[in-house]
Chains A and B, each alone.
Chain A
């Protein structure tokens, strides 16, 4: 589904990704880990063609998207459903209008049918009560849930992309979002979750990729992540070990 072939990307004279090569299948549950500014979100943006790599090829469903125009990329983007960091809800629209955005833009559904579909989606993510709320009236967790509902309304995606879906949330809300992410992947649809919270990544993903200084330091399963001798990753997952020890006590 997704192939990165020696992809490099720089921003403001700083190398963000250097010669990155990997592939991800549509049914995989992948977590991309790393510190702030290590290029995790950049990978999602490259997958969607929102930014172009300096060199290398990005192949989505067998097609090289690196030279595609904005119009040509539309079809590629429809294969994915993305939830950006903090939801990226449109401030000027209420929850119902946010979720109905694509339905109004691309379908000829009646207002009644749109209303039913929006309520159904909000029920799926458990925020039906917030139908008339403005984004600024929502809590962090509700924000992410509404964003997930909106992304589900858009198209029928082959894969979900989540950019820091649990950042800034308390453990209970973060856990609820993780459950929702897992629920949505039950029908065999994979996802890529970008996060710096190892604990949340462990809960949802089977494959872990760790970015550091523009390099892919690790790519493997949970065991490989937990038993890695790489010092940069050991420091990063120490939070997890502390939590595990706490649990054992």
Chain B
């Protein structure tokens, strides 16, 4: 039983790897589905805008609240902006946006593709000679890789404003001090570390969700299962890859641990 499960897992990973590779390869071969890509960008980007801003705003506020409380005990309240800035830009912003993106876009991709499989729409594409990976997977990968970094940048800004609100209006700090300490951390190393992650996260979320959706079997229960697996696997991969990327980026950018 366990051997079968391990074999199944290895086979799934192999298929996921192949789908991710062919999905990328689709960017280099005609036909290019521009309309499909734009539709996916609208769904993933414009559709997630409000929720990312809302979540990021409150994450920034909560973080600022916690830090202001602790730092004021140490007499270091003036560093609130700096710590909020580093935490949001390098770490929390990309992860929070990716988690929201998984919940909204990843689950949507898995359930949409899953219902297309169950409704024989994917088979119909194959019968018509259309490559389902090029038509369905490549536009979703492209839209996720473009839109998640954009959403992360907007989310970071919202978090910093949330932090500002708490620091100035609840912790009674100077707005000038808050923004100047935020500006101090907006250096290339930090911004680069924060902007590389969403590209990788977007690619992982799109590939995993497309794979889970396209491997849907067994009616409504199968659809529920593939959507759940897409979200769970994406979240795990975001957290694990975040750790790995953080380690690599800190090393590459010359930070000592």
Name A residues whose Cβ lies closer than 8 Å to a Cβ of B.
45, 48, 50, 70, 74, 77-78, 80, 82, 84-86, 88-92, 101-102, 105-106, 154, 163
Interface centre among B31, B121, B123, B128, by most chain A C-beta atoms within 10 angstroms, is B128
Please give the distance in Å from A89's CB to the nearest CB on chain B. Answer: 8
A105 with B128: CB separation less than 8 A: yes
Give the size of the chain B interface in residues (CB under 8 angstroms). 15
Contact yes or no, A88 B121, CB < 8 A: yes
Q: List 27 A-B contacts (CB under 8 A).
A: A45-B123, A48-B123, A48-B127, A77-B126, A77-B128, A78-B129, A80-B127, A82-B124, A82-B127, A84-B120, A88-B119, A88-B120, A88-B121, A89-B121, A90-B124, A91-B115, A91-B116, A91-B119, A91-B121, A92-B39, A101-B128, A105-B31, A105-B128, A105-B129, A105-B130, A106-B129, A163-B120
B129 A77 Cβ-Cβ under 8 A = yes
In the complex, what residues of B have CB within 8 A of residue A50's CB?
Answer: 123, 126-127
> In the complex, A177→B129 CA distance in Å?
26
Q: Which of A74, A82, A84, A91 contacts B129 (CB 8 A)?
A: A74
The winner among B31, B120, B123 for most chain A CB atoms within 10 A is B120
B111-137, CB < 8 A from A: 115-116, 119-121, 123-124, 126-131
Q: Do B124 and A84 have beta carbons less than 8 Å apart?
A: yes
Are A86's CB and B129's CB within 8 A?
no
Cβ B128 vs Cβ A102 within 8 A = yes
Distance in angstroms between the alpha carbons of A74 and B31 in the assembled complex? 16
B57-101: which have CB < 8 Å to A?
none
Closest residue of B by beta carbon distance from A78: B129
Is the Cβ of B128 less than 8 Å from the Cβ of A88? Answer: no
Chain A residues whose C-beta falls within 8 Å of the C-beta of B39 in the assembled complex: 92
C-alpha gap A74/B119 in the complex (Å): 21
**Cα–Cα distance between A45 and B129 once the two chains are bound (Å):** 14
- CB of A206, distance to nearest CB on chain B (Å): 25
Once bound together, how far apart are the Cα atoms of A80 and B39, in whole Å? 31
CA–CA, A91 to B116, complex, Å? 9
B128 and A154 contacting across the interface, CB-CB below 8 Å = yes
Kindly state the separation between the CA atoms of A105 and B123 in the bound complex, as whole angstroms.
16
Q: Given A88-B119, A90-B121 in contact, is the A70-B126 Cβ separation under 8 Å?
A: yes
Chain A residues with Cβ below 8 Å from B116 are 91
Residues in A whose Cβ lies below 8 Å from that of B115: 91
Q: What is the chain B residue whose CB lies nearest that of A50?
A: B123
Residue on A with the closest CB to B129? A74
User: Within the assembled complex, what's the spacing in Å between the Cα atoms of A77 and B126?
Assistant: 9
Identify the closest chain A residue to B131 (Cβ): A70
Bound-complex Cα distance A70 to B134 (A)? 13
Q: How far is the CA of A18 from the CA of B129 in the complex (A)?
A: 29
**Shortest 10 CB-CB distances between A and B: which pairs?**
A84-B120, A88-B120, A74-B129, A88-B124, A77-B127, A88-B121, A50-B123, A102-B128, A88-B119, A82-B127
Bound-state Cα–Cα, A74 to B130, Å:
9
A90 to B122, CA, bound (A): 9
* B121 → A minimal CB distance (Å): 5
Known A-B contacts: A70-B126, A77-B126, A89-B121. Give 15 more (CB < 8 A): A45-B123, A48-B123, A48-B126, A48-B127, A50-B123, A77-B127, A77-B129, A85-B120, A88-B119, A90-B124, A91-B115, A91-B119, A91-B121, A92-B39, A163-B120
Whose C-beta in chain B lies nearest to the C-beta of A101?
B128
Chain A residue nearest in CB terms to B39: A92
**Alpha-carbon gap, A105 to B124, bound state (A):** 13
**For residue B31, which residues in chain A have a CB less than 8 angstroms away from its CB?**
105
Interface residues of B in 188-244 (CB under 8 A from A): none
**What residues on B are CB-neighbors of A84 within 8 Å?**
120, 123-124
How near does chain A come to B63, taking the closest CB pair, in angstroms? 39
Instruction: Give bound CA distance, A50 to B124, whole Å.
Output: 10
Residues from 121 to 166 in B contacting A, C-beta threshold 8 Å? 121, 123-124, 126-131
State A77–B31 Cα separation when bound (angstroms): 20
